Structure formats: structure tokens, C-alpha cells
Chains A and B, each alone.
Chain A
Amino acid sequence: MEGIYLLFILLLSIFVGFELIQKVPATLHTPLMSGANAISGITVVGALALAGDETLGEYTMYLGAFAVFLATINVVGGYLVTDRMLAMFKKKK
């Protein structure tokens, strides 16, 4: 039954995702892509659960910790890069 709830969540979020990005000016394409990329770093939350759970064994924890490392780069780098791009936009105006 849990799986069905998760599928509901998936379905609704896909619709929201479609609706959000309908009329976006061309200048915002790259920052939007970069911003969305930072959000996809949410994997870090899943990686944390694997990296900190000792019951899963040492090997899993190491793999999880490496995933945390990679996803953190994605998150931190992604948001900063997006912010830099958008900051440049403001100056142009």
C-alpha cells in the first residue's frame, strides 16, 4: 500500500512540475536549469540516511558517505552558481 501512496505523490509532483514551467522567458532558461539542478541534489537526504545508519554495515556507510559528499557538491555548487548568474542579470537592467 505504501508504494501506491508514493505513486500518488509522484503523479501530483509531475503535474506541478509541468505547470510551473510553462511561460519562462528565454533569458531564464539557463538559471532555471541550474536552479533545478541544485534541487536534484536532494539525493543528499537519501544519502544521509544510508551514511549514518550503523546497522547497515560499514561498506554501505562508506558508499553513503561518498554519495553525501557528491550530492553536497551538487547542492552547494548548484545554488551558488545559480545565484551568481541571477546576480549578473540584475546588473544588466
Chain B
Amino acid sequence: MTSNIDLVINFTYVIAAGLFIYGLKLLGHPSSARKGNLVSAVAMLIAIVVTLLDNNIINFQWIAIAMLAGSVVGFFAARLIAMTDMPEMVSLLNGVGGLASVFVAWATIQSGAGLTAFILVVTFLALLIGGVTFSGSIVAWAKLSERITGRAVTFSGQAVVNGIIVLAIIATGYAFVAQPDLALTSTEVLYIALGLSLLFGIMLVLPIGGADMPVVISLLNSYSGLAACAAGFALQNNILIVAGSLVGASGIILTNIMCKAMNRSLSNVLFSGFMAVHKTDM
């Protein structure tokens, strides 16, 4: 089954994974951070180029258009944004990355090829985490850029509503994977799951106040890594799993460090909006 070209691709993925790890390590020190970013960018370029050698990739027309358009948008977004708007920009890019995972999951389902129970579970996870990352990041972006109020938005019964959403997500997850005889097709279940995950992302970020936003963005960043990782399992792609879980794990640690720097715990940041004794007078 494994042809020579697959071997070359996977070997190159190993090199790329090593470079990602090395790049992240360099990023953690002030003197080498810029070089670290470059190393990680080179790793990404290698991974993309070698993927294009894949024998299954026949049609390059849409790929070329999509990559060109994406590069142009990414380039100008990064160049034109004001230095003070950087946190918003990171949040927005993170949301876009999450949405990409959603579409990878959607396309995987749509292809209908080799959908075992395991593939269905990980695809559902990719869709779910990607959806939460997208809508959560958009809300975080809107809060930071003051398009909506930057303060914590809470209403009575919010915890109950969130609980219902979680239960509904679990129910759709079951319906999606086990596929019992429902009146719905799997595509319809997919749409419902997507809607629920988007809603959950919004509900997750709404009760969090402005000063805690960086922590939330870091957490959502970690989620986007996990979404990529889940997509990697669905497509059985090693580099997606390695890079995704690297981002997922380092994102969680970073979130934790940022919380500690503010003398808070992560749960305190996430749920303080619900707490009765939340101080509003500054």
C-alpha cells in the first residue's frame, strides 16, 4: 500500500515536526524568539510543499486559487493592522483557523470514504472544537475591539442554558456516531452539531470580562490546536496530530502561566462571571 512517495512525504513530516518543536523552543527565549518563528514558518512551508506531492492530489486549480487568495488576505491583514490592535488580530486569525478545521471535518464527512466509528468520533470532535474556537474567537475579537461591550455579559439562568447546550451537543454526538434510526440524515445532524458548537463558543466567552480576554484567547488558541489534532486523527495525518497537540498542550500551559501571573486560577477566569460575589466596583 505504502508507495515510495508516501514514504518521502511522511519522512519529511517527521523533519517538519522536529522543526516545529525546535521553533517553539526558540520562541520561548527573548533572544531567539524571532528566529524560532522563522524556523516554525520554514517547517510549515516544507510540510505544505511536500503535501502537494501526494499522488491523490490531482486537481490543483482550486488549491492554487485558495492558497493565493488566503496568502493575499493573510499578508494584508498582518501588514495593515495597527500595532495596538495585535491581540484582536491574533484572536481573529485563531477564529479563522478554527473555522478551517470545521470545513476539514465537514469535507471529511461529505467525502463519505471509510467512515468508521473512530473516524466519525474524531471528525465530530474536530467540528465541535473548531466551531467553538471560531465563534468564541469572534466574540473575543468583538469584545477587544469594542464592537460589543467589553464587560462580562451575564443573565439569570445562564448556567442552566449552558448545561442544556452541553447535553444537546452530547446527544447530537451520539446521534452522529451511533446513527440510530432517526428522521434526520447525518448531514442534518452535522448542521445541528455545527450550530450548537457555534452557540456554545459564544456562551463560553460572553461571561468573561475585558481584562481576562488574553487568557481566553490563549485558551481558544489551545482549542484550535486540538481541533487540528482531531482533524489529523480523522485524516490519519501524522503532522496534523503532532503540530495540533503541540499547540494544544503548549496553549494550555501558557494559559495557566498567564492566569498565575494575574494571581487567578483558570476556573476563576472562566466562571467568575457567574459568581455572586463578583466585584463590579473597580
Contact = CB atoms under 8 A, between A and B. Distances in A.
Interface of A: 2-3, 6, 9-10, 13-18, 20-57, 59-90
B66 A18 contact: no
Nearest to B118: A3
B190 to A, nearest CB: 11
B97 A51 contact: no
Interface in B43-88: 44, 47-48, 51-52, 54, 56-60, 62-63, 65-67, 69-71, 73-75, 77-79, 81, 83, 86-87
Interface residues of B toward A: which range?
Answer: 35 or more
20 contacts: A3-B118, A13-B242, A16-B249, A20-B246, A24-B28, A29-B258, A30-B214, A31-B33, A37-B97, A42-B239, A43-B104, A47-B104, A48-B63, A51-B66, A53-B59, A57-B110, A70-B70, A74-B96, A81-B86, A84-B78
Given A6-B232, A42-B244, A64-B62, 5 more contacts: A36-B225, A53-B59, A70-B70, A73-B74, A88-B83
B243 interface: yes
Interface in B208-261: 214, 217-218, 221, 224-225, 227-229, 231-254, 257-258, 261
B41 A79 contact: yes
A68 B112 CA distance: 19
A80 B94 contact: no
Given A13-B245, A76-B75, A38 B44 contact: yes
A81 B44 contact: no
A59 B79 CA distance: 33
Contacts of A46: 104, 228, 231-232, 234-235, 237, 240
B90 A81 contact: yes
Given A70-B96, A71-B70, A2 B236 contact: yes
Given A20-B24, A30-B214, A37-B224, A51 B86 contact: no
Contacts of A80: 74-75, 78-79
Contact of B97 (A10, A17, A32, A41): A41
B135 interface: no
B173 interface: no
- Most chain B CB within 10 A, of A22, A29, A36, is at A36
A35 B37 contact: yes
- Most chain B CB within 10 A, of A59, A64, A78, A85, is at A78
Contact of A45 (B21, B47, B217): B47
Contacts of B251: 33, 36
B9 to A, nearest CB: 10
A57 B59 CA distance: 12
A23 B171 CA distance: 41
